[in-house]
Chains A and B, each alone.
Chain A
Amino acid sequence: MAGFALLLAPVCSQAQTLLGTQTLNLTLNAAAFLYSVPATTTLTTTGTAFNATGYTGSTTMTYRGRTGTSVTTAGITVKATADFTPTGQGLSIGTSGGPLTYTCSGTSGNGFTPCSGSLTVSTSTSTNVVTIAASACTGGGSPCSSDNPDTVTVNFTLTNKPSYKTGPYSATLTFTISAT
Chain B
Amino acid sequence: VKKSLLLTAVGLLLTASLAHAQSASGPTTVQVTLLAEASITVTTGTTTLTTTGTVFNNFTGSTDFTYKIRTTKSGGSGTITLLFGGALTDAALDTIALSNLTYTCSDVAPASGTNCASPVTASSLTATKVADFATDAHSADSGTTGNSVSWTLVNNPSYKTGTYSATATFTISAA
Contacts and interface: CB of A to CB of B under 8 A. Distances in A.
B76 A172 contact: no
Given A175-B25, A179-B23, A166 B12 contact: no
A119 interface: no
A43 B32 contact: yes
A173 B26 CA distance: 8
Interface residues of B, number: 44
B29 A170 contact: yes
Interface in B16-34: 16-17, 19-34
Interface in B26-72: 26-39, 68-72
Contacts of A170: 29-32
Q: Which one of B2, B6, B23 has the greatest number of beta carbons of chain A within 10 Å?
A: B23
Given A32-B24, A166-B36, 8 more contacts: A24-B9, A37-B26, A38-B28, A55-B34, A160-B37, A164-B138, A171-B30, A180-B21
A168 B28 contact: no
A31 interface: yes
B140 interface: yes
Interface of A: 19, 22-35, 37-44, 48-50, 55, 57, 59, 61, 81, 89-91, 100, 156, 158, 160-180
A19 B6 CA distance: 12
Contact of B28 (A26, A27, A39): A39
Contact of A166 (B5, B22, B73): B73
B9 A176 contact: no
Interface in B69-85: 69-73, 76
25 contacts: A24-B12, A25-B9, A29-B19, A29-B20, A30-B20, A31-B22, A33-B24, A37-B26, A39-B27, A41-B31, A42-B31, A42-B32, A43-B31, A50-B37, A50-B38, A50-B39, A57-B30, A162-B138, A164-B138, A165-B70, A169-B34, A170-B30, A172-B27, A174-B27, A178-B23
Given A26-B16, A34-B25, A169 B33 contact: yes
Given A166-B36, A169-B33, A27 B13 contact: yes
A49 B68 contact: yes
B90 interface: no
B28 A29 contact: no
Contacts of B140: 162-163
A165 B30 contact: no
Contacts of A163: 70, 138, 140-141
A46 to B, nearest CB: 12
B1 interface: yes
